[in-house]
């Protein structure tokens, strides 16, 4: 067996499909977000504006967050030194969990090393705790939820994206007594649409199912205090498990679940993805507490975020660019072809200093390849006008499809 050849063939296949990913090596500038310096392989550099970060509110460079991180590091050291059960738990971990539980109006919360890990660990553990549990999953759920569903080993049924009628059709067929878990997201991050949460909760009540909600792209961004779409719609108390990340709107890293004391405790006792891995470093935890408190208290930031997204959508429509319908802060533009999507983003980066990643299969279905733009409160009118001009140029140079 020529092992190396197998690896090379795998890479060649991805390249042939136009899906090969090349990293942009950036040096960000705290205090000057979203501007960054790009480091080229030949040692030279160029200036870029970042348009595809999930640091939605620029909290990764917030002065108070940076100060909290440095202070905690200087005082307690950096690494956490172990798992939560063995020496890894500082008083700050407990404080952060209280903050997260309170953010969602839940009894308890549990930290994980990432949002991905929290979905994988929590879904698989919760479903395994229920004998013969059946998981009902939205067709567009994130890879981390799918991983959790697979690892549970339970029966799964997929309902059409955001289709409550289809969900009910499936629920109707299932044995009344069987435990059920409906897994869905609030904001779907590749299209920018929102799930019909209250209607899903109604079905959960009617068929006695648990609900598992991924609020990763909404925590910090929606609701008066940043509790997510479930806060905005007043349904947080009806959701069994709310899952979120510290890595997007809160600007750091880590994931969590929030829910009842018993549910959280059960996951804490049983989930390998919680038990057998070193926990978050104390400085990061301190930074997260500061960031969450700031974001909760600063609704202006959310208002400005939405205003910026709307402004960009308006400019793109005006320019005749095929911006996809989105009711959120996510601004996708359809290209519809992997190779051309990659050509467009290469051109934007090399010729215009505009950094946007192409979104290709398997993240989205083949034929719906797109650019995904995430304007933040720090993207001012100046950079927006430059972006739109660059996009118009690239659309002309590559003869891409304009808006219908
Ligand atoms: C990013 C993302 C995650 C994973 O969160 P991380 O903290 O980045 O691991 C989970 N769910 C959804 C929908 C995401 O987009």
Kindly write down the DSSP assignment for every residue of 95-119, as one continuous string: HHHHHHHHHTT-SEEEEES-HHHHH
Share of the chain above pLDDT 90, in %: 96
3-14 confidence digits (pLDDT tens):
999 999 999 999
367-387 confidence digits (pLDDT tens):
999 999 999 999 999 999 999
Please give the average per-residue pLDDT across 15-29, as a whole number. 89
242-265 confidence digits (pLDDT tens):
999 999 999 999 999 999 999 999
Distance, in Å, from the CA atom of 248 to the CA atom of 115, rounded to the nearest integer, reads 10
Please give the average per-residue pLDDT across 310-322, as a whole number. 98
How many CA atoms, within 13 angstroms, populate the side-chain half-sphere of residue 352? 22
pLDDT (0 to 100) of residue 347: 97
Distance, in Å, from the CA atom of 145 to the CA atom of 140, rounded to the nearest integer, reads 10
pLDDT (0 to 100) of residue 20: 86
- Site to probe by mutation for ligand 1, drawn from 120, 142, 241 as the one with most ligand atoms within 8 Å of Cβ, is 142
Ligand 1 centroid–CA 183 distance in Å is 14
Distance, in Å, from the CA atom of 268 to the CA atom of 71, rounded to the nearest integer, reads 29
pLDDT of 18 > 80? The answer is: no
Q: Using alpha carbons, select from 232, 235, 213 the residue that is nearest to residue 221.
A: 232
Ligand 1 centroid–CA 160 distance in Å is 21
Could you tell me if residue 157 is left (phi over 0), alpha (psi between -120 and 50 degrees) or otherwise beta?
Answer: beta
Share of the chain above pLDDT 70, in %: 100
Contact assessment for residue 112 and residue 93, using Cβ atoms and an 8 Å cutoff: no
pLDDT (0 to 100) of residue 313: 98
pLDDT (0 to 100) of residue 41: 94
How many CA atoms, within 13 angstroms, populate the side-chain half-sphere of residue 374? 22
Structure tokens at 110: 């549990």
Active-site residue, selected from the candidate residues 106, 180, 248, 342:
248
pLDDT (0 to 100) of residue 217: 98
248: annotated active-site residue: yes
pLDDT (0 to 100) of residue 17: 82
Which residue in the block uniquely carries the two structure tokens 């059409």?
Answer: 160
287-318 as b/e: b if 16+ CB within 10 A: bbbbbbebbbebeebbeebbebbeebbebbee
Please give the average per-residue pLDDT across 86-95, as a whole number. 98
Beta-bridge mates of residue 243 = 214, 257
Ligand 1 atom at minimal distance to the Cα of residue 117: 9
Q: Is the dihedral of CA 86, 87, 88, 90 positive or negative?
A: positive
* Residues framing ligand 1 (Cβ under 6 A): 114-116, 119, 142, 144, 185, 189, 214, 216-217, 245, 247, 255
Ligand 1 centroid–CA 403 distance in Å is 30
Ligand 1 atom at minimal distance to the Cα of residue 189: 15
Distance, in Å, from the CA atom of 258 to the CA atom of 101, rounded to the nearest integer, reads 6
Ligand 1 centroid–CA 240 distance in Å is 19
Per-residue confidence band for 352, with pLDDT thresholds at 50, 70 and 90 = very high
Contact assessment for residue 388 and residue 308, using Cβ atoms and an 8 Å cutoff: no
Structure tokens at 294: 């700031």
Ligand 1 centroid–CA 116 distance in Å is 5
Please tell me the residue having the least CA distance from ligand 1 atom 6: 115
pLDDT of 149 > 90? The answer is: yes
Please give the average per-residue pLDDT across 119-139, as a whole number. 97
pLDDT of 403 > 90? The answer is: no
Please give the average per-residue pLDDT across 35-59, as a whole number. 97
Distance, in Å, from the CA atom of 355 to the CA atom of 345, rounded to the nearest integer, reads 7
pLDDT of 101 > 90? The answer is: yes
264-308 confidence digits (pLDDT tens):
999 999 999 999 999 999 999 999 999 999 999 999 999 999 999
Number of H helices, E strands in the chain: 14, 16
Ligand 1 atom at minimal distance to the Cα of residue 253: 7
Torsion, Cα of 70, 75, 77, 80 (10° steps): -100
Please give the average per-residue pLDDT across 325-350, as a whole number. 95
């Amino acid at each position: 067996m020529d092992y190396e050849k197998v690896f090379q063939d795998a890479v060649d296949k991805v390249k042939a499909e136009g899906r090969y990913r090349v990293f942009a090596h950036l040096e960000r500038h705290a205090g000057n977000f979203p501007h960054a310096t790009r480091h080229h392989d030949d040692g030279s550099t160029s200036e870029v504006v970042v348009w595809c970060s999930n640091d939605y509110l620029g909290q990764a460079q917030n002065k108070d967050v940076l100060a909290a991180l440095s202070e905690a590091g200087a005082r307690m050291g950096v690494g956490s030194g172990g798992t939560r059960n063995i020496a890894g738990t500082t008083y700050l971990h407990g404080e952060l969990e209280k903050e997260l539980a309170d953010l969602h109006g839940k009894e308890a919360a549990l930290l994980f090393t990432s949002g991905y890990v929290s979905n994988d660990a929590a879904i698989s553990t919760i479903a395994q705790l229920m004998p013969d549990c059946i998981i009902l999953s939205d067709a567009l759920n994130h890879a981390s939820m799918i991983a959790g569903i697979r690892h549970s080993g339970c029966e799964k049924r997929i309902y059409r994206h955001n289709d409550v009628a289809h969900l009910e059709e499936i629920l109707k067929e299932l044995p009344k007594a069987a435990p059920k878990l409906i897994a869905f997201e609030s904001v779907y991050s590749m299209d920018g649409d929102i799930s019909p949460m209250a209607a899903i909760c109604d079905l959960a009540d009617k068929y006695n199912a648990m609900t598992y909600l991924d609020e990763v792209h909404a925590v910090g961004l929606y609701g008066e205090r940043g509790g997510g779409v479930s806060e905005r719609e007043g349904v947080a108390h009806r959701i069994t498990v709310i899952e979120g990340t510290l890595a997007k709107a809160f600007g750091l890293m880590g994931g969590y679940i929030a829910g009842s004391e018993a549910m959280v405790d059960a996951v804490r006792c049983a989930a390998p993805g919680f038990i057998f891995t070193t926990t978050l470093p104390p400085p990061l935890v301190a930074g997260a507490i500061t960031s969450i408190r700031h974001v909760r208290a600063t609704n202006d930031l959310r208002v400005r975020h939405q205003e910026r997204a709307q402004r960009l959508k308006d400019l793109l429509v005006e320019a005749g660019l095929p911006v996809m319908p989105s009711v959120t802060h996510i601004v996708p533009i359809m290209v519809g072809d992997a190779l051309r999507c990659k050509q467009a983003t290469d051109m934007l980066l090399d010729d215009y200093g505009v950094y946007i990643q192409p979104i290709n299969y398997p993240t989205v279905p083949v034929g719906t390849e797109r650019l995904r733009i995430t304007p933040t409160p720090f993207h001012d009118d100046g950079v927006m006008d430059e972006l739109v001009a660059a996009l118009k140029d690239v659309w002309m140079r590559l003869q891409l499809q304009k808006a219908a």
